Structure 1
Amino acid sequence: MAFAWLKGHGTENDFVLLPDADGSVHGALEPAFVAALCDRRRGIGADGVLRVTRTEALSAVDAAAAESASEWFMDYRNADGSVSEMCGNGIRVFAKHLFDAGLADSPAVIGTRAGDRTVTDHGDGTYSVTMGPADVRATSKVAANGRAWEAQDIRTGNPHAVAFVDDLADAGPLTGAPEHDKTVYPDGVNVEFVVWRGPGHIAMRVHERGSGETRSCGTGACAAAVAAMLVDQTMLPATYRVDVPGGTLHVGWDVNDELTLTGPAEIVARGELEWLS
């Protein structure tokens, strides 16, 4: 099978993009194929795959696509091939491809399994995404490498458990998924370990379900910022800076409970691949 591909990243959270406007090239995107494509030794290598398809091409088989009013839909898969609701870094890369290819104008509405999102190109290499409301729930425990923390359950398209730590090294090597309460997160969870850097300024590490520890997570940055604003009892509207290993993101939260994620997006390679595996 030969197909076109692109490679891009947002704060070093990297993705393979598969242009597939009518949904005819990649069909149901088998998990084994996605996992092989994302493998950094036997594939292109990435934290996930973004299929770039028209919403109408998926509307018959995907309930979220059927409900979307957008022209384009981000069919996102984690590195292990599992389906994910949303990707805050990935959608900026997705939108950049649409803008660069003349397939959409800024601002563009893009469909996701977490709902339609609007992406705006600021013209300086950064993009803002409307991320919807913050769904703040109860706390539970997460644990890694023999240590445990209380974590805030916050849904920002994806489920997140946000734990404040004294030092980002406290969680140790995140070679496996942190332990979590499976009754709270039956479908798995992204876990953020967060430290304070100053007023309106935090830093974090993240372990993403289906991908492992990554250099950045956009929905996770939103969850971490919301958790920090709640602790700070911050008056809204407010914007927090979130440092991740791959760079810096900014998260805004307004009086209408709407989150906005702003950060860079880059396309770094493109080509055609004849897949032989």
Structure 2
Amino acid sequence: MHGLGNDYVYINCLHQKIKHPNELSVFVSDRHFGIGSDGLVLICPSDKADFEMRMFNADGSEGNMCGNAIRCVGKYVYDNRLTDQTDLEIDTKSGVKQLNLTIENHRAVAAEVNMGEAVLRSRSIPVETDYDEFISQPMLVHGEVYLVTCVSMGNPHAVIFCDDVDSIPLEIIGPLFENHEKFPERINTEFVQLIDRSTLKMRVWERGSGETFACGTGACASVVAAVINDHCDPGSEVTVRLKGGELKITYQEDHTVLMKGPATHVFDGTIDAPIA
């Protein structure tokens, strides 16, 4: 399944266990020898929510949260009649998230997700800095100074506003930000172009996966950064244009973030995996 081209392999783990998900993610994510994806998602039982989502990046590292993947989890459990509810709670490593599914012809086609509160405190993101919040702070990367705003949406993000996202050499700059010494747990990096106060254009370098077509948490972090830097308005829905399509994001007055976007099924199948 995919959310705006951010594609993952999903495994129903309600009645089976995957012993080595890190290694399996590397295998299935390979677009030549595996299935090909941005990573692996396990749909698991939960004792605190309706279901649990575990997600692994293409390099095998486990992530805390993925906004595009969680919409697809909602679609999977509804379409496969694992639930008849359209309001769901999904447990993640960054806490329980609430989903409201959009149903057409008895299938879930989209979801609105309450992503919880945006975290700005540097220590909690984490960012190695003396500033309590890392907002529009200069960083020297690859010989250039970038103004960076850091936000956590359950996973860490560095947001940089620029005039033209298409001209950014992301394959060079992305890894340098991801592995910068300021970010002890690595970081996802978003380059954001301001179209107007209700529209952003974004490219993303995801830690462990590289450039992807979309990143839900990254779109949320970008809107939060845009609001606190007075580029967008709090409480207003902002359209974020990504390589794979558009997400609708609202940074609410209570500091929680709402995300609306599609979820798309591609195919089901089986694979002979050397590690499971």
Report the TM-score when normalising by structure 2: 0.86
* SS of residue in 2 equivalent to 1:270: coil
Per-residue deviation, 1:183 = 4.8
Per-residue deviation, 1:261 = 0.6
Per-residue deviation, 1:182 = 4.2
Pick one of 250, 256, 259 that aligns with 2:257: 259
Residue 26 of structure 1 aligns with an amino acid whose one-letter code is I
* Number of equivalent positions: 256
* SS of residue in 2 equivalent to 1:223: helix
Tell me, in whole angstroms, the C-alpha distance in 1 between the residues paired with 2:139 and 2:49.
37
Residues 18-33 of structure 1 aligned to structure 2 (within 5 Å): 18-22=11-15, 24-29=16-21, 31-33=22-24
Per-residue deviation, 1:147 = 3.5
Per-residue deviation, 1:268 = 0.7
User: Partner of 2:203 in structure 1?
Assistant: 205
Structure 1 pair 234/145, CA: closer, same or farther in 2 (3 Å)? closer
* SS of residue in 2 equivalent to 1:18: strand
The 8 Å contact of residues 23 and 60 in structure 2, kept in 1 or not, is answered as yes
Pick one of 167, 189, 194 that aligns with 1:170: 167
- 1:132 correspondence with 2:112: no
Tell me, in whole angstroms, the C-alpha distance in 2 between the residues paired with 1:199 and 1:15.
32
The 8 Å contact of residues 153 and 162 in structure 1, kept in 2 or not, is answered as yes
For 1:118-146, what per-residue CA distance to the aligned partner results, in whole angstroms no more than 9, with x for missing partners? 11112252211110011123144556665
Residue 9 of structure 1 aligns with an amino acid whose one-letter code is H
Residue 17 of structure 1 aligns with an amino acid whose one-letter code is Y
User: Partner of 1:191 in structure 2?
Assistant: 189
The 8 Å contact of residues 86 and 100 in structure 2, kept in 1 or not, is answered as yes
Structure 1 pair 20/121, CA: closer, same or farther in 2 (3 Å)? same
- 1:113 correspondence with 2:93: yes
Pick one of 262, 266, 269 that aligns with 1:268: 266
Tell me, in whole angstroms, the C-alpha distance in 1 between the residues paired with 2:114 and 2:247.
14
Tell me, in whole angstroms, the C-alpha distance in 2 between the residues paired with 1:233 and 1:182.
26
The 8 Å contact of residues 70 and 116 in structure 1, kept in 2 or not, is answered as yes
Question: Percent identity over the alignment?
Answer: 31
User: Partner of 1:17 in structure 2?
Assistant: 10
Unaligned runs of 5+ in 2: 121-132
Per-residue deviation, 1:27 = 2.1
Tell me, in whole angstroms, the C-alpha distance in 2 between the residues paired with 1:237 and 1:174.
34
Structure 1 pair 234/169, CA: closer, same or farther in 2 (3 Å)? closer
Residues 16-95 of structure 1 aligned to structure 2 (within 5 Å): 16-22=9-15, 24-29=16-21, 31-56=22-47, 69-95=48-74
* SS of residue in 2 equivalent to 1:138: coil
For 1:219-260, what per-residue CA distance to the aligned partner results, in whole angstroms no more than 9, with x for missing partners? 000000111122226553221110000000010122221111
Structure 1 pair 275/48, CA: closer, same or farther in 2 (3 Å)? same
Tell me, in whole angstroms, the C-alpha distance in 1 between the residues paired with 2:268 and 2:139.
39
Structure 1 pair 73/142, CA: closer, same or farther in 2 (3 Å)? farther
For 1:14-58, what per-residue CA distance to the aligned partner results, in whole angstroms no more than 9, with x for missing partners? 000011114x431241x22211110111100111111011025xx
Structure 1 pair 180/89, CA: closer, same or farther in 2 (3 Å)? closer
Question: C-alpha root-mean-square deviation of aligned residues, in Å?
Answer: 1.9
Unaligned runs of 5+ in 1: 1-7, 57-68
